[in-house]
Structure formats: C-alpha cells, structure tokens
Structure 1
Amino acid sequence: MSTHTVLEPERWNEDQELTLLLFLLRKDATSRLDAVHAAYLYGLDWTRLLRLAEHHRVVPAVYLQLKRINHPAIPAELLRNLQAQYHRNTLRMLHLQAEAGRVTRLLMNHGIRVLMLKGPALAQQLYGDVSLRTSKDVDLLIAPDDMDQAEHWMREAGYVSKSGEARVLGSWKWKDHHASFLHPQKRVEIELHWRLQPDAGGEPSFDELWDHRQMSEATATGAPCMYTLGSEHQFLYLSAHGARHGWFRLRWLVDIDRLAVRAVDWEALLPMLRRYGGVPVGGQAWALAAALLGTPIPEPMRPVSATRQAQRLALSALSFIQASVPGAAYQKVEPTICQPTSRSYLLSLKGPSHQLLYLISRLFPSTGDPAILPLPRQLHFLYIPLRPFLWLKRRFSKH
C-alpha cells in the first residue's frame, strides 16, 4: 500500500465528522467556508462532532469556526454547548496564567530560572490569545540542580507533591522528567520539569534553552511576562512530545501548524534536529500536519518530511489517531502498523545512538523501584544489581 495514499485525508471521507473537524482546524478554513455544502451539514452527527472536538481538545477553534459559518443546519444547542465550554476555558486559562505568573515570580525571586512549557504561554506565543487553546495544568521547566530548592518553594506556595516517588541515586535526572504538584484550594496542578522529555533521549541543556528563550507577550489582563522556549527549541519539544503520545490529540498537530508560520530559523533547526536525534519525529510531525491540516512545510524541512522513516512513523500515528476517535466510523487499521503506545513504536522514534542510550538507561534504577523494595538511602546502590529482579516483579504484578 502506498504511504502517500494512506496519508491523504480523502481516505477519511467515510468519517464525515472527523473530516469536518480537520477542515475547521485549518488556518485557511475561514476563507474556504463556501466549500462547505449545505447538504453535507444536514447529514452530520453533530453530537459526535462535539465529542471529537472535546476528545482532541480543540473546542475553542471549532466553536469560533462554526459560529462564523452560521448555517441553519448547525444545531443551536450545539453552539450553546460549545460557547459555554469556550467561556469556561477562557476563565480557566486566565486562572492558570495568573497562577503560573505567581509561582514563576516566586521561583525567580529566589534565583531559580523558569521556562514555561505549553499552557497559557504557548497559547499566547502561537495563537496570540490564551482563550484559543486549552490546557489542564501548568508546566514549568527548571535546571535539574534547582529541583530541591524549587520543591521547597512549591510547598511554601501552598502546593503538595502528587508524585510521592523517591529519587534513587542520580538517575532520576535523566530517566524521568517531571514531578507533579497540586494546590488543594486553587485546584491548580503544576508539573515541574527538569527535562523536556523522559527516557534519556538527546535534548538541549537547560543553559542552552535559557540562552535562546523568548519572552511571552504581555496580555490585556496585565498578566506578567513569562519566558518560553525559543521558536526552534519549541518545534524540537512539541514534535517530540506529540510523537511520544502518538499524536492522539489533534491539538498537538494544530500547535505545529501554527508554529509553521512564525518567524523560525528553519535552516538553524535542521542541524539542531540532527544533533538531538529529532529528525524522525520532526519529519513525522511535518508529514501529519501537511496531510491533515494542509500545513505548508518550510523548504529546509521538506527533505526531513519526505523520508521513508517519517512517512512510516506518520502511518503509525494515523492508525492511533483513528483508533482513539470516539465512535469512529472509519476504523480500518493496517495490521502491520505498530500501535504508538508500544515499546517498539517508542524505540522507532529514536535514532540508533539514542536507541542504544535508551536501552542502557533501562539498567539503571527508576523512581518506582523503592515502591517495590524500600531500602534506606545508604543502600540505594543495591538497586543497580537488583534492577532485573525488580523489573520482573513489576512485570508480573501487572498480570
């Protein structure tokens, strides 16, 4: 079967609601509204379209586009539902933005450098308005050596740890990537990251990310400016994050689509992708965004998206996107395509050197080992020779 034909969105025409959703998420959807035929709208399952928008976390975009279409075939109850969710999301994002600013100021006032990942800062950076993207929590990135001090100030700010995992030796710094904290009264969850991605993959140091940071634009609400990743590092992060989750939420692809038209030094991005093993997932991101959202691929990125590996990874992600669709009418998944949640898929995202590094990392202790066999800190070195036995115990305890 040709990879090119599988990536063509026309193959999804049997799923009318998903096809319309993809159309509504395109940047040029407003200028192409006359392409939406009335007969097509009358034949839709609008309840399912709502479920799709909620599943893919793209309610704001869908609501605003359907409001612009303003066709009598669109149920008024659907628009009221979407409008209510849109308003709730706006309030939620403003709340997260204010809390992220408060915690960021607290940490930076005590000498801890902070970069904001995703959330309100990314919404402002890519969409120009925090109401146009959804987020359930706040993600902050700090240097690994600042983690102990940052945890102290998180507790001072009223947050309690949700992770509850002991850190074993020093492997947590490169095997894991974040710890979660919850404010019981404000009901805000903050993930404190010390790496962009888990699993010992290649990525820039915090100092490199900090040197190329961007200041998030101030908003009309007077929210404080926060630092975000530079545009090139943003693509590196977003493509790896989406790939790791199999792109099962279209929101992540929309982020790539919006980033594609920003001022990014694509020539500088290419060697960065090669340096940190990001070529496979970068190519996958471009292949998917171009096929599903009509994203224009910048000239320097076209060879990356055209490789057999990028197309193969895009096929794997497509199968998972289809399988995750609520009540999908189109569920034909090729049996030879690996499921994106599998270990083989995750390994296929990495280059040979990073695959080797990942396999070596499995020999080192993880934060879950003390839960199986608690040992005093002075005996934590024993987790290294005990690692195979703990892995087997964890493996068989799942069955």
Structure 2
Amino acid sequence: MKVNLSPEVTLLLMACSVELPAEKRDKITQFINQQSIDWNRLYVLAERHRLKPFLFRSLRQIVTVSEPFIAALKQDCQLTATDNLLKIHQYHTVAALLSEYGIEHMPLKGIYLAEHVYPDSSLRISGDIDLLVRPKDVFATIDLLQRHQYHLSEKQDLQWRQGEERILSDLFEVSLFKPFFNNSQFDIDLHWQIMGFNQHYALFDLAYVQLQPAFEAERKIVLLATHHGVNNIWQQIYYINDLYFTLVKADVNWSWLLQELSRCGFREVFLAGLYWCQQIWNLPLPPTVQELIASARIRSLAEAYAKNWETDKPREFSHLVLKQLTLLLTAQTSLGNQVKTCTTFFTSRVFRYSLFRLGKRLIYVPKELGFITIFIRAVQSLFRFLPGRR
C-alpha cells in the first residue's frame, strides 16, 4: 500500500525542522513552486496538527510565500508562546502546591514536553495541564485544587458526588478548570491511571513508571506511545514530533523498551510512529531497530496511520474508537493479542458507566448496569456516523 499525501500535508512534514538548512529551504521553495498549494487548507491543517510554529519558522525564509500568510502565522505563534509560558507558570504553581501537601505527582504530555523535551517551549502547542497522581491521593488532590479556585464540570461534579469508591472504579481521570481572564481558563486533567486501548486491555499508573528507576525514561515512552499511538492512532503530526524529541533527549535501552512494548501488545504501533520519526526527522536508530521499521509490514501500517492526517479535524467519539480497534488489530502479530483486542473491546463497551441527559437533568448509570444502556449507546454511536454528524 502506498499512501498519497496531499501537497498541504507533505509541506507540513517538510516544515518540521528546528533550524532550516539552506538545502532544505531550497527543497521547500522548489516544492511550493511546483505544487498547487491550497493555502487556506494548509493553514487549517497546521492548526489541526499543532504545527504553526514549525510552519512559520520554515516559511518565513521562503520569499515566494505571501506576506499576509506569514503575518497570520507570526501572530498565532506569538499567542502560542505567551500561552505556553502562562501554562508552564501555572503548572509550577500547582506542582509547588502539591509538593507542599506531600502529594506525589508526575506531569504528562504537553506542558512537560514543551518545557523539558522540545528545544524551544514555543514549538509545542499545549492544551490541558496533565498530571498523574497515585489513586490514594486523588481525592486529596481534587479537594486541594478546589480550594484554590479550580472547579469540576457539571458531569464530573455528578460523578464526584457518587463517592470515592465509585470514582476510582469508574474513572481514570477527572478534568478541572480555573477561570483566568475574560473567557480563558486553565485546565487540568488529573489522571491516576492511563488506559491503553480500553480499561480491560491495559492500565498504567505512577507506580508503573517508578517501578524500576533505571527504566523510567523507557516507561514514559511506553505511556507516550500508548496515548499518542494506541489511543489516538498517531492522527496528529505533532504526536510524531513528541515521540521524536523524547527519543532524541533520552538514552534509550532499545532492547528493554521493545520487549516491554511487546508485552503490552503495542510494539508494532510504536514502530509505526518510529517509522515516521525517521521519515520526517531522519532519526538515527540502532541497526536492529532500523531493520524492524524497514519491513514492509511496518511501512504499510505506518502509511495506514498517515491516512488520518488528511482530515480537517481529528477523529473522535465512535469514529476514533472504530479506528483504534481496526488499527490495533492490524498491528497485532499473535493470535492471542488479536483475541485480547477483540474481547476487551466488547467487554469495555458493555461494562461501563453511562451519563444520560433527560431534559436539564443528568442521569448516572453505574457500570454494573451498563448492559442495560448498551443499546442506547449503540444508537448514539451509529448516529455519529451519519454524514451530517461528521
């Protein structure tokens, strides 16, 4: 299978560069001159893939690109840089608060990667502040954040009122927000377990990361591949960039990492992301790993993931769940993992809590009664596949 990427997506991939050498600048200039670029679509896709900072750094050196386009990117990048600094400052404020109260935590994804992994924090557009805490500290953390102007949403508040045992049984994270200025706010996603594919397939927690200090970096890479590759099907190009900068920064024990990913059934998904790290960034790899990603199977899988880059918006809800299933099944190399993928997919659809809105009221249905609501949720999922709902 050969993936045919549009000129806009191809240009975004070419623009992924920290410093633009003359050779690459000439290559991009030649590409723009030879291709019919839809500049409006390029702008939309740069937003969708969180690549505006990279695109601006590359295209500002190309004289044939229109000044208004560059000016719009520049303004967006200035806002991004300011937003990142505010979020990093807010994270440090929250981290100091948690440490003051003896709550152990670990930052995840955006803010952590922007500050500690990327060469310039402004290159990584961040959304929520993601924190991982121990299950025993969940309620103390939520209570502490609520006493410092953070709030739960209506749905999360309803779940919160079900009690500690129910929260830890049904959920793996909660979201809190703190009003900041005008309509802006700081958002925190508080995790105590990271789900891999679904709650019956794999769960990771802070204890998992800290189990072997010598392999902490590798375990964090497992979490990154789980979130970006398994759960979110590498569907945004910045996920690949996250993986690249993380790998470049770490002294990776490749043998241990691949063995751990194989144990989880996520090795092929990771290798597909690794394939694009090399295609986009020319990531140097050990010969044994290079041989793995050079295989026709991994190349075909990587191209299947890349097909998702062309949509104007990331897949979500039922569309994402279906893609998670089909791509993870394709990635499995053993019958046992194929069976596990299918069985956990169906059990996780049945035995789960549900929230339904009746008029203005939210109704909570515990997961023990999830089989009663499966038909309602099935209809809702099918409804999302209607053309008008895409």
TM range (shorter): 0.7 to 0.9
Matched residues in 1 for 2:70 and 2:213: separation?
39
Change (3 A) 1:347 1:360: farther
1:35 is aligned to 2:39: no
Of residues 192, 195, 200 in structure 2, which corresponds to 1:194?
192
Change (3 A) 1:114 1:212: farther
Shift of 1:171: 7.3
Of residues 122, 131, 139 in structure 2, which corresponds to 1:131?
122
Structure 2 equivalent of residue 179 of structure 1: 174
Matched residues in 2 for 1:171 and 1:29: separation?
52
Which amino acid is 1:54 matched to?
A: E
Contact 1:59 1:82 survives alignment (8 Å): yes
Change (3 A) 1:32 1:100: same
1:18 is aligned to 2:9: yes
Structure 1 equivalent of residue 39 of structure 2: 46
Structure 1 equivalent of residue 237 of structure 2: 250
Contact 1:171 1:365 survives alignment (8 Å): no
1:290 is aligned to 2:278: yes
Structure with bigger helix share is: 2
Which residues in structure 2 correspond to 1:139-178 (within 5 Å)? Answer: 139-162=130-153, 163-166=156-159, 173=168, 176-178=171-173
Contact 1:289 1:295 survives alignment (8 Å): yes
Matched residues in 2 for 1:274 and 1:260: separation?
18
Matched residues in 2 for 1:213 and 1:59: separation?
36
Shift of 1:318: 2.1
Structure with bigger strand share is: 2
Shift of 1:157: 1.4
Cα deviation, 1:29-74, whole Å, max 9, x if unaligned, reads 535223234583485443332222112111111111223xx23212
Contact 2:234 2:305 survives alignment (8 Å): yes
Matched residues in 2 for 1:179 and 1:211: separation?
24
1:36 is paired with a residue whose SS is: helix
Cα deviation, 1:231-280, whole Å, max 9, x if unaligned, reads 31232122222222232211111112223323222222122212333213
1:322 is aligned to 2:314: no
Cα deviation, 1:155-208, whole Å, max 9, x if unaligned, reads 011110123352589576476432111102351111101122352232444123
Matched residues in 2 for 1:180 and 1:358: separation?
24
Contact 1:320 1:340 survives alignment (8 Å): no
Shift of 1:317: 1.5
1:345 is aligned to 2:333: no
Which amino acid is 1:261 matched to?
A: V
Structure 1 equivalent of residue 388 of structure 2: none
Structure 2 equivalent of residue 225 of structure 1: none
Structure 2 equivalent of residue 91 of structure 1: 82
Of residues 212, 225, 250 in structure 2, which corresponds to 1:239?
225
Matched residues in 2 for 1:271 and 1:174: separation?
30
Matched residues in 1 for 2:166 and 2:327: separation?
20
Contact 1:212 1:230 survives alignment (8 Å): yes
Where does the alignment leave 5 or more consecutive residues of structure 2 unmatched?
A: 384-390
1:277 is aligned to 2:269: no
Contact 1:246 1:321 survives alignment (8 Å): no
Contact 1:174 1:195 survives alignment (8 Å): no
Matched residues in 2 for 1:316 and 1:246: separation?
10
Shift of 1:296: 3.7
Which amino acid is 1:249 matched to?
A: Q
Contact 1:16 1:44 survives alignment (8 Å): yes
Matched residues in 1 for 2:166 and 2:234: separation?
28
| Range that drifts further, 34-43 or 107-116 | 34-43
Where does the alignment leave 5 or more consecutive residues of structure 1 unmatched?
A: 215-228, 327-338
1:246 is paired with a residue whose SS is: coil
Contact 1:257 1:295 survives alignment (8 Å): yes
Change (3 A) 1:390 1:278: same
Contact 1:203 1:276 survives alignment (8 Å): no
| Range that drifts further, 236-245 or 199-208 | 199-208
Matched residues in 1 for 2:377 and 2:65: separation?
51
Contact 1:165 1:367 survives alignment (8 Å): no
Which amino acid is 2:326 matched to?
A: Y
What is the TM-score of this pair, normalised by structure 1?
0.77
1:127 is paired with a residue whose SS is: coil
Change (3 A) 1:83 1:133: same
| Range that drifts further, 79-88 or 259-268 | 259-268
Structure 2 equivalent of residue 387 of structure 1: 370
Structure 1 equivalent of residue 209 of structure 2: 209
Structure 1 equivalent of residue 387 of structure 2: none
Matched residues in 2 for 1:309 and 1:125: separation?
33
Change (3 A) 1:109 1:63: same
Contact 2:53 2:123 survives alignment (8 Å): yes
Matched residues in 1 for 2:193 and 2:294: separation?
29
